[in-house]
Chain A
Amino acid sequence: MPTEVKGLIELKKALKDYAPNLATQLDDQMGLALGGVVKKAQSYAPVTSPLSNWSYRKRSEKNAEGKRKFPLYNSAKVIKGIQYSGTPRRANKNGFKAVYYIINKSAEGAIYETAGRKNPNGQPWVGRKGDPNDHGVSHSNNPNAGKQFIQSMGAIYQGNIESSTKKGRYMKGRLIFRAWAEDGGKANAAALTAIYNVNEQFKRKQYFRKVTK
């Protein structure tokens, strides 16, 4: 589970309004805390596509029905899509709003990250006969396409379930979850410490007074 920091959003707003220097300091410290994990995760993104025919090339991105095609692997895009952020996200169904998080934005990055997490041997195969709108089955001519695709991606790593909202297989991955697991919770501790320190500084009224003078 992530750490729930009560009033974190309000703190960020207050820092922005009354102690911009502290806000900058917090951003810097978060950068130090999370930047390492991000860099490591970016380093795990393969330079070339794990599958030769999955590599990025120029093509129409929409199919005949006008729908988006399965994304091709673009290393630069995957790397660029791995970031950390301090902008609060929309609340999830449980009512938690992530304020600081590491994100893997790109579609191809997400595919590489999570392929095989749910079905380690690929989705059930139905071939061309199945409902084309059913995305829970494989429509490939090759019954082993899913399995081969996943195998080419390499091993999937179990992330640190203690420090995330996700647990079990939802914390498995090849990029950010792998980096997060290897970090061993240090980044998480550093990030929370940074928040705590800044909050303490802000609570010390003299800083507040100094800024408002």
Chain B
Amino acid sequence: MSIVIDIAAQFTGKRAFAQAENAADKLGRTVKHALIGVGVTAFAKSAISAFAAQEKQLTLFKNSLRTIGFEFATNDSLAFLNSLKLQYGVTDSQLIPAYEQLLTTTRSLAASQNLTNVAMDIAARQGISVIEAADALSKAYLGNTKSVGALGLGISKATLASGDFAQILKEITNVTKGAASAAADTFAGKLARVKVAADTAKESIGAGLVEALMQITKSTDIEALQGKIINFGNSAAETLGNIGKIISDNIVLIKAFGALMIAAFAINKIAAFIIALEKVIKTVTMLRNAALATAAAEMFMLNPLAGAVMTAGMFAAIGLLIKGVDALSDSTTRATENLANLFGASKALGVGGDQGGAAKYAEGAAARAAKDAKDAAAAQLKATKAQTKSIQDQNKLKKANALFDLDQIQIMAALQNQLNDDEKLRLQLKLALIQGNATEAERLSAQLAISQLKTTNLALAIANLPPALNPFRDYPQEVQNAIDEINGIQTALDKLKAPKLTVIVDTVYTSTNLANPIGSPVGGGIGATGGITELLGAGGDQGAAARAVEQARNQMTNLEQSLGRGGDQGGAARTNVTVNVAGNVISNKDLADTIRMQLVDSSASGSFSSIGRVRDYN
């Protein structure tokens, strides 16, 4: 014990105790239910184990017979042993090894069967196992009489010492004959016989369970079954959660089932189980329908897609269950008949007096179960109503919530606009889909389909119309006319862009009066001679100057003559100057500049001009 000073503590006590009490209570109930489950499971397990053990024993037995060359006698031997087993209440685990040993020793079917009977008598009389008795007989058959002597049957030493097996057997038979029958006729013997019958039934049930497992899982062999069981284990954890919910939702039915199973297993496991099985099947069927439908509905509410998947899985499971339950029903019917026969036989044997009570109790349990089932159905109906109300409430909430759904708002806004019927239908359908209104969506889909069909017919009608007249039949001529017009306009424009002007300029003056040559700027050249005269100085070589002037005059004359104007010596000669204006003559100044430049160019190219160029240098 530690010594402690508490500083800060939390009170968790009473609540914890209450929880513990609840937990204990629940645990008690769980254990009770679990025990019921354990009863069923344990029975199924023991049945399968019994079947497995018997299967193993039979296989070994067959192998032994094959080894000694008696394979052909397997079925006969088994039939013989089976009859012995039921007649005397001796189990296979005793009979088969004994018979096997005797057959191996004697290598005779008749002898081995006879000795088996003797061995059973010995065993019944001396209270030993059939195996021990058969062992002793086998040894005696081979000459070793010690074991037979040790059995204490009162066989004389002389007989034993002689080793004569026939004599020994005779003495043994004299002593033990009828012991097995007498023993089987006692109460204990009868119980043993019933037990053997029950064990046989158990083995058969075990075989049936294994077969059922194989069939349900569609396994062709045990290996496949193993694999499927392992796979089932992996998925079971997930499934168990859902099963837990189903159980909690259907606890009343489960309780009825549990009561039924208690009744079945508390009295006589096999008999009552078979009686109750029919009721169990009915209960399971109800449970199955109610629970699975509820689970599917809930899953649909939570997640439609998962609900659909779950429902599909459930239908598969239900199919499987129905298959199994139907198969079980048939088996149960037969089992019930056999049970009635069994009880008849038991009564004849003077045992099984309690079976009637068991049946009565089981019937009472079945009645209670039926009542509980009725209550459960009422509860289920109530739950369904509550669920419906819940769905309606949810729909209302959803509707209210839809007011804030942006998509819906947009659609509603779009519907306020002017739309054609088709567009309106589409929008309304989209709205119905968003709202999850299946009825409305279906109706609108149909309407939309009709509308689309109508549209399709219209297109068909249009396609079937005769060819329309060509509205552009005269198009080429019109186009040509237009082109001509455009060309005309272009021509006019070209004319506007590049006007060709002819300007007549009175610029050149040719005169014989050298003393006053200057009449205009263009006559500067001529006048220049006077200037030159002045430059040369009047006091210079007058004769040379005069000659130069004369020469110049002559040249000018020649020039004018070459220009064809020689005849017009008396007045001002006219020179035609052609000015091409490339669209940049806008003002008078432009025109003057152009003319001047033209004259300059003309002068520069050697043509005659009368620009006063000398003056320009000044």
Binding site for B on A (CB under 8 A): 2-9, 34, 88-89, 91-92, 94-105, 109-110, 113-114, 159, 163-166, 173, 176-177, 180, 187-188, 191-192, 195
Given known contacts A2-B9, A3-B8, A195-B8, is B17 in contact with A95 (CB within 8 Å)?
yes
Complex interface bits, B538-565 against A, C-beta within 8 A gives 1, otherwise 0: 0000000000000000000000000000
A101 near B5 with CB under 8 A, answer yes
Cα A64 to Cα B461 in complex, Å, equals 115
In the complex, number of A-B residue pairs with CB atoms less than 8 Å apart = 100
Which 7 pairs of residues, A with B, have the shortest CB-CB distance? A95-B13, A2-B6, A104-B3, A98-B6, A100-B7, A100-B8, A96-B9
Given known contacts A95-B14, A95-B16, A95-B17, is B9 in contact with A110 (CB within 8 Å)?
no
Cα A81 to Cα B16 in complex, Å, equals 30
For B2, B8, B13, B15, which residue has the most chain A Cβ atoms within 10 angstroms?
B8
Cα A67 to Cα B6 in complex, Å, equals 31
A96 near B5 with CB under 8 A, answer no
B10 within 8 A of A: yes
Residues of the B chain whose Cβ atoms lie less than 8 Å from the Cβ of A109: 3
Cα A102 to Cα B4 in complex, Å, equals 6
Given known contacts A9-B12, A110-B1, is B6 in contact with A96 (CB within 8 Å)?
yes
CB nearest neighbor in B for A98: B6
A-B contact pairs, 11 of them (CB 8 A): A2-B6, A5-B8, A8-B8, A8-B9, A89-B4, A95-B11, A99-B8, A102-B5, A113-B3, A176-B5, A177-B5
Given known contacts A91-B13, A95-B13, A96-B13, is B2 in contact with A104 (CB within 8 Å)?
yes
A96 near B8 with CB under 8 A, answer no
A164 near B6 with CB under 8 A, answer yes
B7 near A96 with CB under 8 A, answer no
The one of B1, B2, B9, B17 that contacts A97, using a Cβ cutoff of 8 Å: B9
* Shortest beta-carbon distance from B31 to chain A in Å: 25
Binding site for A on B (CB under 8 A): 1-17
B11 near A101 with CB under 8 A, answer no
* Shortest beta-carbon distance from A168 to chain B in Å: 14
B12 near A95 with CB under 8 A, answer yes
Residues of the B chain whose Cβ atoms lie less than 8 Å from the Cβ of A91: 12-13, 16
Residues of the A chain whose Cβ atoms lie less than 8 Å from the Cβ of B2: 103-105, 110
CB nearest neighbor in B for A6: B10
Given known contacts A95-B16, A110-B1, is B6 in contact with A8 (CB within 8 Å)?
no
Residues of the B chain whose Cβ atoms lie less than 8 Å from the Cβ of A7: 10
Residues of the A chain whose Cβ atoms lie less than 8 Å from the Cβ of B11: 4, 6, 95-97
A9 near B10 with CB under 8 A, answer yes
* Shortest beta-carbon distance from A44 to chain B in Å: 13
CB nearest neighbor in B for A159: B5
Residues of the B chain whose Cβ atoms lie less than 8 Å from the Cβ of A103: 2-5
* Shortest beta-carbon distance from B421 to chain A in Å: 53
Residues of the B chain whose Cβ atoms lie less than 8 Å from the Cβ of A164: 5-6
Cα A2 to Cα B10 in complex, Å, equals 9
Residues of the B chain whose Cβ atoms lie less than 8 Å from the Cβ of A88: 10
The one of B4, B7, B12, B14 that contacts A3, using a Cβ cutoff of 8 Å: B7
B12 near A97 with CB under 8 A, answer yes
Residues of the B chain whose Cβ atoms lie less than 8 Å from the Cβ of A176: 3, 5
* Shortest beta-carbon distance from A179 to chain B in Å: 9
Residues of the B chain whose Cβ atoms lie less than 8 Å from the Cβ of A104: 2-4
* Shortest beta-carbon distance from A204 to chain B in Å: 21
CB nearest neighbor in A for B17: A95
Cα A165 to Cα B9 in complex, Å, equals 9
* Shortest beta-carbon distance from B593 to chain A in Å: 84
Residues of the A chain whose Cβ atoms lie less than 8 Å from the Cβ of B7: 2-3, 34, 98, 100-102, 163, 187-188, 191-192
* Shortest beta-carbon distance from A172 to chain B in Å: 11
The one of A5, A173, A177, A187 that contacts B9, using a Cβ cutoff of 8 Å: A5
CB nearest neighbor in A for B5: A102
Residues of the B chain whose Cβ atoms lie less than 8 Å from the Cβ of A114: 3
Given known contacts A95-B14, A95-B16, A95-B17, is B1 in contact with A4 (CB within 8 Å)?
no
* Shortest beta-carbon distance from B1 to chain A in Å: 7
Residues of the A chain whose Cβ atoms lie less than 8 Å from the Cβ of B9: 2-5, 8, 96-99, 165
